[in-house]
Structure 1
Amino acid sequence: MSRCSIGKLAFLMSTAIIMVSSAAAAEQEARSPEAKHQWQHYPSPPTAPKDAPNVLIIMTDDVGFGASSTFGGIVPTPNLDRLAKNGLRYNRFHTTAMCSPTRAALLTGRNHHAVNTGAINDLSLDRDGYTSVIPESAATIGDILGLNGYDTAWIGKNHNTPVWENTPMGPFDRWPNGLGFDYFYGYNLSYMDQFAPTLIENRNQVELHPSKNYSLERDFADHAIDWLRQQNTYAPDTPFLLYYSTATAHAPIQAPDEWLERFRGQFDDGWDVMRERIFAQQQSTKNVPTSAKLTSRPPQIPAWSSRTPEQQKFDARIMEAYAAMLAYCDEQIGRILDELEQAGELDNTLVIFIQGDNGAATETLDGALNEIAMFASIDTSEIDMEKNIDLIGTAKSQPVLPTGWAWALNTPFQWGKQYASHFGGTRNGLVISWPKYIKAKGELRSQFHNITDIAPTIFEAIGIKPAKKVQGVKQQPIDGTSMMYSFNSADAKDQRNEQYFEIMGNRAFYKDGWMASTTPRRLPGYGYISEDYSWELYNVDEDFSQDKNLATEMPKKLSSLRKDFTDVATKNSVLPISDEFLPRFSPDKRPNAFEGRDKVVFYPRTTAYSGTAFPSLYSDWTVDAKVTVSNQAESAPIITRGNRFGGWGLFIDDGKPLLVYRASHLEKDIITITSPDTLAPGDHSISVQLERTPEDKMNHLSLIIDGKIIATQQVSQLAHPGVETFIGRLSAIELIEDLQIPYSTPGVVQSIKVSF
């Protein structure tokens, strides 16, 4: 195009812009409130009450009360600080101590067992209170606000879809779109890799090709900002509900390199010293009363001084990664707040920031660079400490936090995630900001509240009452209590007088300032230390941290609270109590997409099959791949199950079939079988078989080509794959660097038959 043509085009574009602007101005004038057309026959959408606030709910994952600077913690969270300075901090707010239950209670305003979410969805049971199926009688905040004129979106983690419904064919009733949210971008799982996620947009899996600079938290913030802008463009007069649910700081603990560098050397003193430092900061900032006591370290959690120098260095690196992850997430949240402020929306936005869906994760005593190997009981620590320590927090790691750090991040309380008996598992920092309504700035609120109270708080703030029937279904009572009475009254009397807690056998009951709590009998790392549960008693109005056990001194009070717990547990379908853990992960404990079948055929696709959309393959299975080779130098992935941290893959490498089986990321745990012969052009059958033989009771892995066994190797340690399976391509974090196999060669794989 000539310069003259470009100049004409620019003039025409500028003229068009002026004409459009003039037309837009005229149209805007015509659409003034007085001139708005009143349609007689077109359906009218619901409208929100006048001046109803926008609602932004932010929830992080596995973040303890003592983590963020806002509550006296060790990790700088300037954007949470920013909200707190412009609003309120709550230091007696509680979750359920576990992910899915907390989120179900948040969404519905009901107790978690009352909506069938007594544990995470992966641990559901075939009985009331535990099926993981949120009933239609418990409409969500998305449902209610949508029916009252709000636009709704959910960005980030969803762990409230039953695992057997998490397939490309649904059903979709309990996916976010089916739970009342117009838009969803995130994942339907408990956790996600920060650098190579498998994501869903509404009902469809996203084909993602992450670059070296990709990060999941930035991606979430980008999509949240984009949705807010679209909402402002198309519905500027309609309020919104945005539920922003981050992946931080659930394992794998990962962060961009520059953020990892910011925290180098900051945690070399260890968790015992850090806990004391946090406690002092909490008291100096008045997040914890001066009368509070710092609870002692349980004997089951090792002292920092008992760790070897190598262990201490390794442990400190994992804590550096945790701090980097949380601080980086806070920066991305700040971008969303900036967007609202620049759009003039922040003043009338009710921001509810829940720092953690439970306490920090006390799930393994020693921590690990590779959580998949850890769950498979493979100890990689010796080699990782020596050779792989610099990988911690990067894309080549899947770290999980040692219990000692998690315990410190839950300062000043006992225990952590999964322990619903103590505040280390249930006490999470809450910040609420709503400048247009809340007159107090930077104040502390100490009323006792629970995650079920968020929904009724939102309803009262908007000025609506949920209908007794939603879409024809009679609604069960809401268990929560609105917190609005405390917004402009620091000394207002508590309006929540009792609350039960129960997760995986750990339970408690709060009533009028007293709390009865069971003593944990299962340790981090899943071992048991006692035959049965004993009970403790605390006056938590006077004993902020549950430091002084009064059970021996006041047996009648304890007995009364235990009876109250039994009554409310019966009402909420909590009983019978079960603390079984690892056995509940077994696929036969719940429905699955392949129930009653022993063979399934899969086909190549551009996105992954999620863990629940593919059979659980551990022992005694066969995968038969039908492939077409065009030339003898063909290279292509056929199927990858899992990733470099654990799983297996079948490939054609320079014309030769190649099988890689990884129990962990270490060389000693990797089995490689390569065909000695190059495949001739044409159709072939390439099979992988894992068989447990009764003679030696060992697992044997075989590569079979066109019906002929090429090689068999004994497998001493079974692989536990990650959450995805790719057919006809590699996952973005797979063996690309190691094997140099092309990302995709279309047309090589025809089908995959899986027998199990």
Structure 2
Amino acid sequence: MRNWIKLIAATTAMVMPATAVLASGASLAAPQPAFKTYPARPQAPAQAPNILIVLTDDVGFGASSTFGGLIPMPNYDALAAQGVRYNNFHTTAMCSPTRAALLTGRNHHRVGFGAISEVSMDAPGYNASIPKTAATIGQVLKANGYDTSWFGKNHNTPPWDLTPYGPFDRWPLGLGFDYFYGFNGPATSQFAPILTENLNTIRPYIGKPDYILDRDTADHAIQWLGGQKSLRPDAPFLMYWSPGTAHGPQQAPKEWIAKFRGKFDMGWDKLRVEIFKRQKAMGVIPKNARLNPREAALPAWDSLTPEQQKVSARMMEVYASQLAFFDDQFGRVIGELKRLGEYDNTLIIYVQGDNGSSEEAGPRGTNNEYASMNNNDPEWDQMIGKEDSLGGPHSAGVYQAGWAYAMNTPFQYSKQVASHLGGTMNGMVVSWPGHVADQRQTRGQFTHVIDIAPTVYEAIGITPPTQMNGVDQMPIDGVSFAYTFREAKAANRHTEQYFELMGNRGFYKDGWLANTVPARPTWDHSPTHVDPLAFKWELYDLNRDYSQSVNLAAKHPEKLAALQADFETAAKANNVFPLTSDFFSRLDARFRPSILGGRNSVTYYPSTARFNYGAFPSLMRTGWSASAQVDVPSAGGDGTLVAQGGWAMGWGLFVINGKPVFLYDPSDHDTAIRLSGSEPLSPGKHSIMGRFVPDAMPGRGGTLELSVDGKEVARQTTPMSSSFLGLAGSVGQLGDESVADDMQLPFAYQGRLLSVTISQEKETGAR
């Protein structure tokens, strides 16, 4: 090899001297330090700061110690100690809409995210597709010389694009981020996450019993920072870090859960009072703020039995430990910034929650949110006694709504409720040494998630482009809050803002808020439509009533009418109409585009690809079958033919001990059914089919059938049915989790799998 290198060097020296003459007579100059014809990378403005944006998930205003909560977050506290806290910062009340607004600086309906992507509709404000006319901060900063990265959750790619075959223009890389390490969709497990690196599915947890996602994400963020500063030390970076914490499934390392044992035995009612006192003592909320009473639909803590209190307290311990553990990982990344000498030149914007804490698990909570999503809510007796498993790899729990309400102290309501501050008010801390006041100050100016992008642009010293990649850009809706960095008493510049989500709506103007009243709790799974136009309206003067506690609608009807009219005007301008309060009925994937093109029957071939639920025919409100064509070798062989879901719920066709098996598990409530053939499959080709035939009454269960070569070999009724909503699938091997404990990943089929066909059959009517 060395001889070849010497030969190439010698030949190059003979053929190409420092100045060579070409046949045309032109000279070829030796390489120069400055290249004139090669495409040049964009250069950032002089002294442009690094940008770190952190956005946690489903964390209420009163959760963290930084904003008066009882969950210790020392690294967030330290950030606030040298920066400023914002106690009047607003989100949109739900995941995808808040994230779309943050990324673009535009109102969420204007960029297609009037709701989360899984309930998108065929309307401009709800199509879950950020338009090319709304460039993201990733695209803008990349065009201005920044290296860009995204870690954690991406909930802004249309579900129908989330297949191994794209298109990829609305994946993070297509939205302007050079590197992505995280997951696509609303949630994933901390122990066996459905992870993507750039465009590729990865499984870094296999063979690592101590694996945890938040640590892994921090590891990769640290590695990316080191590499970026090694190769591009003079270029600033943008890092967008959006962990799944503390969205369900709520999970954490067991040693961290142990740290919180007994810390919440006082219950949610006393916890709210304690948080409220701490908030006032810290100056997080005004001295005259009121604590709203407990939501009427929620039980008092003292009404629970001791057994119910025990399991409830453990669920809160898990939530607290997950958030505290993420803070520990955040501290590691801050430590790396300091080690690299980049901390002082980094603008950090850390929003604690993309909406208020979630009451979606209801008064009982759940130890399996996947089952709850599919209308298989657990009863108390299905959770009591399982406390020690909560937060672990075989738990997908979400705490009781009473805890969520406490995490939103001092406000009313929760996630999904855009009409009330419990859904939209989130804590934010901003730090930028030398540029932001460092006296533990609190800012009360009205700010909104759409304000983050223009604030970043002002801090860098750039103007949002009027055209990006040849496409004219819509105006930015947000207002930079950089003016608040040093001026605690500066007048509000963001003076008006509409709110709307799932029919809950409001309009803010100069401190007044007109808002509707939710028609039903967020945990109500009923598909019945409630007309948003029938919602009642309230009126609040937030200038004097920080916590939205005194309804002034009867006292100031003229003010209410004026703000209602303002909402109508803003709604028309921002693609808010049509209004709808539906949620669960809109989860049906058949309401959205699909790579399957409307086919009711799809044939798959063996692949290592992971298919998201949009790449399988919808099993919602329908009978269905899965048929596998196999060629069994003479020596036999076990493995997976097709599977969807994991241990929490799922189904699959398998060969186990040489016999065909159809597994059907609509929840983890000891309801798993396993049909098996009595005889091993003989060598040669066979057709193996699993089938679900629903009862006449929708949602009441049905009959499971297993057949081989057209002959039924097993049958059993089930009292439960499931749409297996939101679950990924795989063909020829298990996906990211085992559907049953006796199947070890990847449990690939050892014979020859020819194909698998999944077909929808009989419709069953309303869910």
Are the aligned partners of 1:611 and 1:725 in contact in 2 as well (CA < 8 Å)? yes
Instruction: Return the alpha-carbon distance in structure 2 between the equivalents of residues 627 and 501 of structure 1.
Output: 54
Structure 1 residues 703-738: Cα deviation after superposition (integer angstroms, max 9, x where no partner): 111222112222321134352112222245314534
For residues 529 and 139 of structure 1, do their structure 2 counterparts lie closer, same or farther at Cα, with a shift above 3 Å needed? closer
Instruction: Return the alpha-carbon distance in structure 2 between the equivalents of residues 333 and 169 of structure 1.
Output: 34
Provide the residue aligned with 2:497 in structure 1: 499
Cα offset for 1:166? 1.0
Instruction: Return the alpha-carbon distance in structure 1 between the equivalents of residues 731 and 381 of structure 2.
Output: 32
Q: Does 1:317 align with 2:314?
A: yes
Instruction: Return the alpha-carbon distance in structure 1 between the equivalents of residues 686 and 423 of structure 2.
Output: 54
Instruction: Return the alpha-carbon distance in structure 2 between the equivalents of residues 567 and 735 of structure 1.
Output: 51
Are the aligned partners of 1:153 and 1:243 in contact in 2 as well (CA < 8 Å)? yes
Q: Does 1:43 align with 2:39?
A: yes
Are the aligned partners of 2:638 and 2:751 in contact in 1 as well (CA < 8 Å)? no
Cα offset for 1:268? 1.1
Provide the residue aligned with 1:216 in structure 2: 213
Structure 1 residues 186-221: Cα deviation after superposition (integer angstroms, max 9, x where no partner): 111001111111111111211444321011111111
Provide the residue aligned with 2:343 in structure 1: 346
Instruction: Return the alpha-carbon distance in structure 2 between the equivalents of residues 241 and 746 of structure 1.
Output: 46
Amino acid at match of 1:467: P
Are the aligned partners of 1:632 and 1:655 in contact in 2 as well (CA < 8 Å)? no
Provide the residue aligned with 2:714 in structure 1: 711
Query: 3-state DSSP class of the match of 1:176?
Result: coil
Provide the residue aligned with 1:428 in structure 2: 426
For residues 742 and 477 of structure 1, do their structure 2 counterparts lie closer, same or farther at Cα, with a shift above 3 Å needed? closer
Instruction: Return the alpha-carbon distance in structure 2 between the equivalents of residues 365 and 36 of structure 1.
Output: 70
Query: 3-state DSSP class of the match of 2:365?
Result: coil
Provide the residue aligned with 2:733 in structure 1: 729
Cα offset for 1:349? 0.3
Provide the residue aligned with 1:753 in structure 2: 757
For residue 604 of structure 1, the aligned residue among 603, 606, 611 is 606
Query: 3-state DSSP class of the match of 2:125?
Result: coil
Are the aligned partners of 2:51 and 2:347 in contact in 1 as well (CA < 8 Å)? yes
Q: Which runs of 5+ in 1 are unaligned?
A: 1-34
Query: 3-state DSSP class of the match of 1:266?
Result: coil
Amino acid at match of 1:655: G
Cα offset for 1:682? 2.6
Structure 1 residues 120-159: Cα deviation after superposition (integer angstroms, max 9, x where no partner): 0011111121111111110000111011000111111011
Amino acid at match of 1:221: A
Are the aligned partners of 1:689 and 1:702 in contact in 2 as well (CA < 8 Å)? yes
Instruction: Return the alpha-carbon distance in structure 1 between the equivalents of residues 697 and 712 of structure 2.
Output: 19
Cα offset for 1:740? 6.4
Task: Output aligned runs, 1:342-741, within 5 Å.
Answer: 342-363=339-360, 364-526=362-524, 532-618=534-620, 619-631=622-634, 634-667=637-670, 669-692=671-694, 699-721=702-724, 723-735=727-739, 737-738=741-742
For residues 695 and 645 of structure 1, do their structure 2 counterparts lie closer, same or farther at Cα, with a shift above 3 Å needed? closer
Instruction: Return the alpha-carbon distance in structure 2 between the equivalents of residues 629 and 36 of structure 1.
Output: 65
Q: Does 1:105 align with 2:101?
A: yes
For residue 202 of structure 1, the aligned residue among 184, 198, 202 is 198
Q: Does 1:270 align with 2:267?
A: yes
Query: 3-state DSSP class of the match of 2:687?
Result: strand
For residue 294 of structure 1, the aligned residue among 291, 296, 304 is 291
Cα offset for 1:753? 1.7
Are the aligned partners of 2:688 and 2:709 in contact in 1 as well (CA < 8 Å)? yes
Instruction: Return the alpha-carbon distance in structure 1 between the equivalents of residues 259 and 350 of structure 2.
Output: 25
Instruction: Return the alpha-carbon distance in structure 2 between the equivalents of residues 442 and 106 of structure 1.
Output: 25
Provide the residue aligned with 1:180 in structure 2: 176
Cα offset for 1:469? 0.8
Are the aligned partners of 1:646 and 1:719 in contact in 2 as well (CA < 8 Å)? no
Provide the residue aligned with 2:123 in structure 1: 127
Cα offset for 1:311? 1.4
Query: 3-state DSSP class of the match of 1:485?
Result: helix
Structure 1 residues 591-645: Cα deviation after superposition (integer angstroms, max 9, x where no partner): 1121231222222333421222222224322211122333455222222211121
Q: Does 1:744 align with 2:740?
A: no
> Number of aligned pairs?
721
Amino acid at match of 2:186: S
Cα offset for 1:691? 2.6
Are the aligned partners of 1:56 and 1:243 in contact in 2 as well (CA < 8 Å)? yes
Instruction: Return the alpha-carbon distance in structure 1 between the equivalents of residues 558 and 497 of structure 2.
Output: 19
Instruction: Return the alpha-carbon distance in structure 1 between the equivalents of residues 144 and 274 of structure 2.
Output: 47
Are the aligned partners of 1:164 and 1:612 in contact in 2 as well (CA < 8 Å)? yes
Amino acid at match of 1:464: I
Comparing 601-610 with 354-363, greater Cα deviation is found at 601-610
Are the aligned partners of 1:354 and 1:430 in contact in 2 as well (CA < 8 Å)? yes
Instruction: Return the alpha-carbon distance in structure 2 between the equivalents of residues 161 and 628 of structure 1.
Output: 38
Amino acid at match of 1:640: A
Instruction: Return the alpha-carbon distance in structure 2 between the equivalents of residues 300 and 207 of structure 1.
Output: 42
Cα offset for 1:699? 2.8
Instruction: Return the alpha-carbon distance in structure 2 between the equivalents of residues 228 and 739 of structure 1.
Output: 38
Instruction: Return the alpha-carbon distance in structure 1 between the equivalents of residues 156 and 529 of structure 2.
Output: 31
Task: Output aligned runs, 1:17-166, within 5 Å.
Answer: 37-166=33-162
Query: 3-state DSSP class of the match of 2:652?
Result: strand
Instruction: Return the alpha-carbon distance in structure 1 between the equivalents of residues 660 and 600 of structure 2.
Output: 26
Provide the residue aligned with 1:230 in structure 2: 227
Instruction: Return the alpha-carbon distance in structure 2 between the equivalents of residues 746 and 276 of structure 1.
Output: 60
Query: 3-state DSSP class of the match of 1:430?
Result: strand
Query: 3-state DSSP class of the match of 2:294?
Result: coil
Amino acid at match of 1:678: P
Amino acid at match of 1:540: L
Amino acid at match of 1:582: F
Are the aligned partners of 1:736 and 1:743 in contact in 2 as well (CA < 8 Å)? no
Give percent identity, aligned residues only. 48
Comparing 372-381 with 557-566, greater Cα deviation is found at 372-381
Structure 1 residues 665-723: Cα deviation after superposition (integer angstroms, max 9, x where no partner): 122x2211111001122332211122347699973221111222112222321134352
Aligned CA RMSD, in angstroms, stands at 2.0
Amino acid at match of 2:647: R
For residue 167 of structure 1, the aligned residue among 154, 158, 163 is 163
For residues 382 and 71 of structure 1, do their structure 2 counterparts lie closer, same or farther at Cα, with a shift above 3 Å needed? closer
Are the aligned partners of 1:56 and 1:244 in contact in 2 as well (CA < 8 Å)? yes
Query: 3-state DSSP class of the match of 2:174?
Result: helix
Instruction: Return the alpha-carbon distance in structure 1 between the equivalents of residues 115 and 383 of structure 2.
Output: 34
Instruction: Return the alpha-carbon distance in structure 2 between the equivalents of residues 324 and 241 of structure 1.
Output: 28
Q: Does 1:240 align with 2:237?
A: yes
Amino acid at match of 1:525: W
Cα offset for 1:589? 1.7
Query: 3-state DSSP class of the match of 1:177?
Result: coil
Structure 1 residues 218-271: Cα deviation after superposition (integer angstroms, max 9, x where no partner): 111111111111111111111000000101000001001101111111111110
Query: 3-state DSSP class of the match of 2:544?
Result: coil
Cα offset for 1:747? 4.7
Instruction: Return the alpha-carbon distance in structure 1 between the equivalents of residues 694 and 487 of structure 2.
Output: 67
Instruction: Return the alpha-carbon distance in structure 1 between the equivalents of residues 611 and 473 of structure 2.
Output: 35
Provide the residue aligned with 2:5 in structure 1: none
Structure 1 residues 366-403: Cα deviation after superposition (integer angstroms, max 9, x where no partner): 21101122223324334433332221111111101211
Amino acid at match of 1:652: V
Query: 3-state DSSP class of the match of 2:590?
Result: helix
Comparing 513-522 with 591-600, greater Cα deviation is found at 591-600
Query: 3-state DSSP class of the match of 1:366?
Result: coil
For residues 214 and 729 of structure 1, do their structure 2 counterparts lie closer, same or farther at Cα, with a shift above 3 Å needed? same
